[in-house]
A and B are shown apart, each in its own frame.
Chain A
Amino acid sequence: MRKQFSDAMVARAATKRLVFMTNDLGFMALEPLQAALGEYFINAGVAEQNTMSVAAAVARQGIEVWTYNIAPFCYARPFEQIRNDIAFHGLPVKLVGNGGGYGYGVQGPTHHAIEDYGVLLALPNMSAFVPVFDEDLAAVISRMGQAAGPAYLRLGRGEAPTGWAVPEYAPWRQLLSGEGKTVIAVGPLAGSYLGVLQELPDAVRPNLWAVAELPLEKHPLPEALMAQILSGAGLCVAEEHVARGGFGAELALHLAERGLSAGPFTHLCARKHLYDAYGSQDFLRRRSGIAADNLLAWVSASRIV
């Protein structure tokens, strides 16, 4: 999604005065944006804490500001700066983290971001964007640019099957319909499920929903999805994020507070940073049990039950 992100930012920079701050990243992706922005493109060096506070102050002076980093470096080191300087002041700083989840795969655990939006959404008025497809970026950048408060963008990689007609962007989209259970997947993971699920017969194919914006309170469940959940046929939430602070926990609380039951509830989520072996994003997804095959196994098991 980096190229699509860069293209969308170049387009935005053509109509909007904005500062873009990178922590020394963007090689082979952000050069066009650098050229477009001139002095408004700032390589702030390897200094994440300073970057966040500077960004807060730039926003406080009325200039739109975006920060860019590898996802874990975007929020973990400078969390206090994001909390105190950005969130406590309600400043609309846009935080961009590339390679969210296990996106950096075999680079190792320091480069994984599997608690990113959970951590950030604990802050006041924070929004999180987790685009599903490459084609989402233009709309996401536009919506994020208009966000009144701080916002986080988790960039991944679009994983739609070749030839799949990507539906127009919306925070909630139903990607597949069926007569089976219901699956809600956060971000690109939804695209990774399309290939295996679309081949299933109607009778067992789950309704597959993709959510691309959090928290739930800002983007309520669509009526059709709520009806499917309340059918009690079975619900699976899948996300490349740890359970604590994840969307699954948020949805479960949302339903429980309203006295609603989804029936059998399964949460496929990132399991840990501390694996005994490392590999690609797909490898780590399988280790966590959130890969497409794992979901397919859940669909099959729920058929038997």
Chain B
Amino acid sequence: MRLCDEELKNARKRLLQMHFESGVGHIGGNLSALDAMMLLHHEYLHTDKEPFILSKGHAAGALYVSLWSKGLLSDEDLKQFHREETRLPAHPPAFGVPGVLFATGSLGHGLSLAAGTALAKRLNADGGHVYCMTSDGEWQEGSTWEALIFLCHQQLTNLTILVDHNRLQGFGSTDAVASMNPLADKLRGFAIAIHSVDGHDPAAIRAALDAPATQPKLVILHTVKGHGVSFMENQMAWHYLPLNEAQYKQALNEVEAAGS
């Protein structure tokens, strides 16, 4: 079943609600990643054969909402986000959440975990495909490049990497902190199939994911931090800030009034 606009809109609203009710931030980077994560969960991750590893663990909210959208987490589960005794902490936990193979949150681990998963699946001859989403700032981690070297050398064609390229990181823009723009140019020397797409256009993401490849695939998602909420878009502060009630209402209204 194809992901529909209504499901995306509901997910965006549910993400805002969850963050508002729990009073926590990291909303901007969740909104930039949500569309691709929703597409993956609705159209590409059908069984255990298609693991997804969220290397940018601070987008756990978008992951939980995607799982909720697929019926793998309940409303009651999401109400526990970031609370005492929750099984849904701010970064994905090691155990207890369906589809989550690894606790992530320290950047620079996920791509290696995905590579190892893809390698083992090849050795086990159990088919399927591994997906991994990284942030863009995460490419400043040396271990991410170690992983890239390894997965290319091992020719892990059963692995697709998605880079949430929202251009804002913890304390500045990726350009201002440690520019690698254009990222695709830095990656082009590797034996990897690179696609650059609008990360908020499901059709474009779908086309990249479906494109035949004889190499591991990397999809650069050009995204907007805080996508869909005018006062959050491209604002670094929304890497951190929680929503107050007025902001929450405005954000909901904007999402409701918009298309997908």
Contact = CB atoms under 8 A, between A and B. Distances in A.
B8 interface: no
B109 A81 contact: yes
B183 interface: no
A222 interface: no
Interface residues of A, number: 26
Interface string A29-55: 000000000011010110101101111
A53 B109 contact: yes
A133 B46 CA distance: 51
A89 interface: yes
A61 B120 contact: yes
A56 B108 contact: no
A20 to B, nearest CB: 12
Contact of B143 (A19, A42, A50, A88): A50
Contact of B115 (A39, A40, A50): A50
A261 interface: no
Given A49-B108, A80-B106, A89-B102, A61 B117 contact: yes
B146 interface: yes
Q: Residue among A44, A53, A58, A61 with the most chain B CB within 10 A?
A: A53
A49 B112 contact: yes
A47 B146 contact: yes
Interface in B30-72: none
A84 interface: yes
Interface string B163-192: 000000000000000000000000000000
B124 interface: yes
A50 B143 CA distance: 6
A47 B95 CA distance: 27
A50 B103 contact: no
A57 B115 contact: yes
Interface string B123-153: 1100000000000000000110011011001
B101 interface: yes
Contact of A49 (B103, B117, B143, B154): B143
A135 interface: no
A91 to B, nearest CB: 10
Contact of B120 (A50, A63, A81): A63
Given A44-B150, A47-B149, A53 B123 contact: no
B123 A49 contact: no
A62 interface: yes
Contacts of A44: 150
Nearest to B115: A54
Contacts of A45: 149-150, 153
Interface string A135-179: 000000000000000000000000000000000000000000000
Interface of B: 94-95, 101-103, 106, 108-109, 112-117, 119-121, 123-124, 142-143, 146-147, 149-150, 153-154
Given A45-B150, A61-B124, 20 more contacts: A19-B120, A40-B123, A50-B143, A53-B113, A53-B116, A54-B112, A54-B119, A57-B102, A57-B112, A57-B113, A58-B116, A58-B120, A60-B116, A60-B120, A61-B116, A61-B117, A61-B121, A84-B106, A85-B112, A89-B94
Top 10 A-B pairs, shortest CB-CB distance: A57-B116, A53-B112, A61-B120, A54-B116, A50-B146, A47-B146, A49-B143, A57-B117, A58-B120, A50-B112
Interface of A: 19, 39-40, 42, 44-45, 47, 49-50, 52-58, 60-63, 80-81, 84-85, 88-89
